[in-house]
Structure 1
């Protein structure tokens, strides 16, 4: 399956979320990245695939989810770094700087992460979506200081009308212990 698009649904009902993800998987050929309940009593669905399949599944998910839909997002031409960031499997060996963007919504971090890695020479270290952090989310990128600054500014700018930013920061030469706490 060709994965070039990411789709995301956020619901305020766990039971409706479970029903919705089942129907989304039945209507289109998509890959389920994850579907889970999280704080504060929401249900998050993240799928990937080709653009038309993801768009069809998200549209159908919105219909099934009805009034329980809190947010939805489709990002065509998603950076592979975003998928890796969600399922972090490799950790950079050296770190010059880290940049962090923190949001009140998962869709904010997903969109900001995609724009950040496309705008500067950075890698995603972590992309944490809601679980155990009261429904908030954050993305951590690494690269040189200038690249991190560029990426963070681009990511924040891309979400200014669609997501509520809590804070952003770029740290040059972070202590090893701080960096390790972000990836483990």
Structure 2
């Protein structure tokens, strides 16, 4: 599935999240990419469609979700590596330098991943959603050291006001044992 525009609403209620997902799909001509619980008791809804439909759907989701909305976004031209990294279907040729950005919400992590991928010659390895992470999320990426450095910096800035970024690091030459755990 080739996606151009994606939108997301992250909520701190599973029940309200399911309601929001249903209303977002009914609000505009969009397709559901992901709707599932994430830890701790949060729920994420990601949809795709044309820009206007996605914006309308996300607005509806934020309105219906009200105080339960933790974070949200619309990315009009998402980088093609974002969804495979989110769904665990990324294939990287090898791991050179390793970059990691850890955020406090899944939505802000996806924003960071998109900005990082757009800014440099890196491969997104994984976007790990909040499951088992006390609500935090992280993205890992690889490439040459200079590209990973610039991409991590751009990813941190790309979060903008959605943040905050909890932590970030670039490991210039990760050990073979760590690389094996990442692939």
So what's the TM-score if we normalise by structure 2? 0.93
3-state SS in 2 of match to 1:80: coil
Going from structure 1 to structure 2, the CA distance change for 1:2 and 1:145 (only over 3 Å counts) comes to closer
Q: How many residues align?
A: 183
What are the ranges of 5 or more consecutive residues in structure 1 without an aligned counterpart? Answer: none
**Equivalent-residue separation in structure 2 for 1:176 and 1:93 (angstroms):** 15
2-structure distance, mates of 1:159, 1:90 = 22
2:40 and 2:131 in contact (8 A); partners too: no
Counterpart in 1 of 2:53? 53
- Counterpart mapping for 1:75-114 below 5 A: 75-114=75-114
1:26 corresponds in structure 2 to 26
- Is the Cα–Cα contact under 8 Å of residues 3 and 50 in structure 1 kept in the other structure? no
Counterpart for residue 142 of structure 2:
142
**Consecutive aligned runs of 4 or more in structure 1 exceeding 3 Å deviation:** none
For 1:80 and 1:43, locate their aligned partners in 2 and report how far apart those are by CA, in whole Å.
Answer: 23
Runs (5+) with no aligned partner, structure 2: none
> What RMSD, in angstroms, separates the aligned Cα atoms of the two structures?
1.6
* Partner residue in 2 for 1:124: 124
